[in-house]
C-alpha cells in the first residue's frame, strides 16, 4: 500500500525500519518512532535484529519532522550498538516480512557488513577555499590567464564575449588542477588514520574536498588532532567542516526492495 504522504491518524499497520544490529536479546529504545511515535524495538532472527517501530504503510516525505524522527532513533541505537542504517522511508508490511525477506535470506551479507563496521565510525570532512585567496593564486601562477583577464578590463562585454568565455574556461581548468592538488594534500595528511575513504562530488566551485572516512574508534582522537592541525596550518586559504560520528551511510547503507 502506498500514498503520496504521511497523513495524521493513519493506522500503524506496518513496521518502519531504521537499521540492522547484532543482538543476543530483544531490546527497547526510548526515542519515539516516526509517524505515530510508537515504541522502537527489535525484531530478532538468531544473532541479527532489525530496529523497527509500528508505523503506517505510507510514503514518508523528506520533511524536517520525519528526518529528525528517523535520525534521533539512529543516534540512540548507535550509542549502544554497531549499526547498519536502512534507507529513510523503508516500511515492511509486518514482522514476518522483516524476518523472512531481510534477516533470514541476507544473514551472511548483513553479518559480514556488521563485522566491517565493528569498532569503526564514520566521520565527514568538507574543505572549502576562501574565494579571493584562491583566485589570486590562479592569477599569480598563470601569467597567460592574468594577461587575458587584464586585456578585458574596460572593454564592452558584447565585443569580448568569446574572450570572456575562453577566460572562464581557463580559470575553471586551473581551479580544477589546484583542487586536485589540494585534495591530495589533505588526504595525504589523514591517510594513516583512516581505514576507508569515500570521495563524494564537491558542491560548488569553492569546495575542494567532500569526503567520508571510516575510522577505527581508537584512531578517532588522532584524526581529530590531524584535522585541527590542518586548520591551523591552512586557515588562510581553506575552511574545514568536520562532523561525526555519523551513521555509516557512505559505506554500508542497506537498501531493501520488497
All three cell numbers of 207, joined, read 569546495
Among left, alpha and beta (phi > 0; psi -120 to 50; other), residue 77 is alpha
Computed over every residue of the chain, the mean pLDDT equals 86
**Under 8 Å between Cβ of 119 and 216:** yes
H or E element: which one contains 149? Answer: helix 143-152
Predicted pLDDT of residue 160: 75
Given a cut of 50, whether residue 1 has pLDDT beyond it is: no
Q: Kindly state the greatest CA–CA separation across the chain.
A: 75
Structure-model confidence comparison of residues 222 and 132, the more confident one: 222
Helices then strands (H, E): number in the chain?
8, 10
Mean pLDDT of the region 89-114: 91
Higher pLDDT, 255 or 185: 185
* pLDDT of residue 187 exceeding 70: yes
Burial environment of residue 123 by CB neighbours within 10 A (0 to 12, 13 to 18, 19 or more): buried
- Residue 144 is predicted with a pLDDT of 80
- Residue 184 pLDDT > 90, yes or no? yes
Q: How confident is the model at residue 162 (pLDDT cuts 50, 70, 90)?
A: confident
The highest-confidence range among 10-14, 123-127, 245-249, by mean pLDDT, is 123-127
Amino acid at each position: 500500500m502506498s500514498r503520496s504522504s504521511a497523513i495524521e491518524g493513519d493506522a500503524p499497520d506496518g513496521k518502519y525500519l531504521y537499521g540492522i544490529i547484532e543482538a543476543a536479546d530483544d531490546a527497547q529504545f526510548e526515542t519515539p518512532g516516526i509517524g505515530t511515535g510508537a515504541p522502537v524495538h527489535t525484531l530478532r532472527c538468531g544473532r541479527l535484529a532489525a530496529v523497527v517501530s509500528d508505523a503506517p504503510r505510507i510514503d514518508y516525505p523528506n520533511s524536517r519532522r520525519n528526518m529528525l524522527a528517523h535520525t534521533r532513533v539512529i543516534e540512540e541505537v548507535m550509542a549502544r550498538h554497531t549499526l547498519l542504517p536502512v534507507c529513510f522511508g523503508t516500511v515492511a508490511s509486518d514482522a514476518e516480512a522483516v524476518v523472512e525477506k531481510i534477516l533470514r535470506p541476507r544473514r551472511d551479507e548483513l553479518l559480514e557488513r556488521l563485522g566491517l563496521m565493528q569498532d569503526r565510525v564514520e566521520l565527514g570532512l568538507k574543505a572549502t577555499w576562501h574565494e579571493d585567496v584562491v583566485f589570486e593564486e590562479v592569477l599569480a601562477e598563470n601569467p597567460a590567464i592574468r594577461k587575458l583577464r587584464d586585456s578585458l578590463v574596460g572593454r564592452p562585454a558584447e565585443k569580448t564575449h568569446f574572450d570572456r568565455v575562453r577566460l572562464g574556461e581557463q580559470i575553471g581548468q586551473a581551479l580544477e588542477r589546484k583542487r586536485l592538488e589540494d585534495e591530495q594534500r589533505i588526504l595525504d595528511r589523514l591517510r594513516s588514520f583512516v581505514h576507508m575513504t569515500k570521495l563524494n562530488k564537491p558542491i560548488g566551485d569553492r569546495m575542494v574536498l567532500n569526503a567520508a572516512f571510516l575510522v577505527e574508534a581508537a584512531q578517532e582522537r588522532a584524526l581529530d588532532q590531524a584535522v585541527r592541525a590542518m586548520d591551523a596550518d591552512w586557515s588562510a586559504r581553506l575552511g574545514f567542516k568536520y562532523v561525526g560520528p555519523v551513521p555509516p551511510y557512505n559505506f554500508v547503507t542497506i537498501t531493501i526492495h520488497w
